[in-house]
Amino acid sequence: MPIERIDIVLGSNCNNNCSFCVLDDKSKKFKSKSKEEIIRDLKESSKECDFLTLTGGEPTIRKDILDIVETAKKLGFNEIHLQTNGRMLSYNLFCKKLIEKGVTSFTISFHADCEELGDKFSKTKGSFQQTLKGMENIKKYGAKLITNTVIFKQNYKNLLKITKKAIEMNADQIQMVFIRPQGQTLKNFEELVPKIKEIIPNVIECINFCKSEKKKILIEGIPLCLIQEHQEHIAEKHMPVTKILAVENFYNRPKTKIKSLICKRCKLNNQCTGIWTNYAKKFGFGELEPLK
């Protein structure tokens, strides 16, 4: 299948310290890609498609990020997407320049609806207000705003509040991902990871609210059998064929998802990607319900 999107992992450095980060301590010690390495990646991958995602770590804390975006645009990437916590975008001029250089859309990590919880989850005082200002600037300067919320024990009961706050900030699209047990999350598994069935009612509540507001919402990391009536909102069904360029072994992970033998009896087996492997190792497959 032809490549539809290029993801370049710029490095692991970040200005937040989230306990649910998918990077582990080893991954965080990897040296960031040099500007020369990134430009080489851009030149080679620009021959494959024109959709680029820049991610990290936190891409916006690189001093050369504007040059990287400008180079990508000149090489023919028409859609340049930036995954970020949004804090640096609170600086008006910086956000404006990123968009002028070529960034067309942003995915903002957005895990709380209030300052107290936002700062608690990021372990960084003042981060929540900076993120809100960054979201405001994205819309002010004309780029697309997507929010991404990791669903974990400490926030799943507030998912609707988080969704409403994102829409209040004029988000164009809402995304949620059931917490992936790897990196820091695996280290803090018992503290962070709920059972999937526990969070389903809250997720469906958000889906229904977004429908009423005519906002697109996508959910990642939940098997189809547990959310069958809302399959059109499963993120995995909408993901482009992606090539990831990162430092070797950067994510330090084996196979990400896994299926049970009972999945073979499900009518949606060929469409479903299963559940997170490390989740299954801890909780098993008892929640899965093969559909006939």
Domain boundaries, the chain: 5-254
The pLDDT tens digits along the chain (292 residues) read 899 999 999 998 999 999 888 876 655 556 788 999 999 999 999 999 999 999 999 999 999 999 999 999 999 999 999 999 999 999 999 999 999 999 999 999 999 999 999 999 999 999 999 999 999 999 999 999 999 999 999 999 999 999 999 999 999 999 999 999 988 899 899 999 999 999 999 999 999 999 999 999 999 999 999 998 999 999 999 999 999 998 654 444 456 899 999 999 999 999 999 999 999 999 999 999 999 9
Is the separation of the CB atoms in 213 and 170 below 8 Å?
A: no
Which DSSP state fits 31?
P
Q: Which CATH number fits domain 5-254: 1.10.10.10, 3.20.20.70, 3.30.70.2470, 1.10.3260.10?
A: 3.20.20.70
The tokens 């609806």 sit on which residue?
A: 113
* Buried residues in 101-110 as b, exposed as e (16+ CB within 10 A): bbbbbbbbbb
Which two tokens mark 199? 């969070």
Q: What is the pLDDT of residues 181-240, one digit of tens each?
A: 988 899 899 999 999 999 999 999 999 999 999 999 999 999 999 998 999 999 999 999
The candidate with the shortest Cα–Cα distance to 75, out of 145, 6, 144, is 6
pTM to 2 decimals? 0.94
Q: 118: cis peptide before it, omega within 30°?
A: no
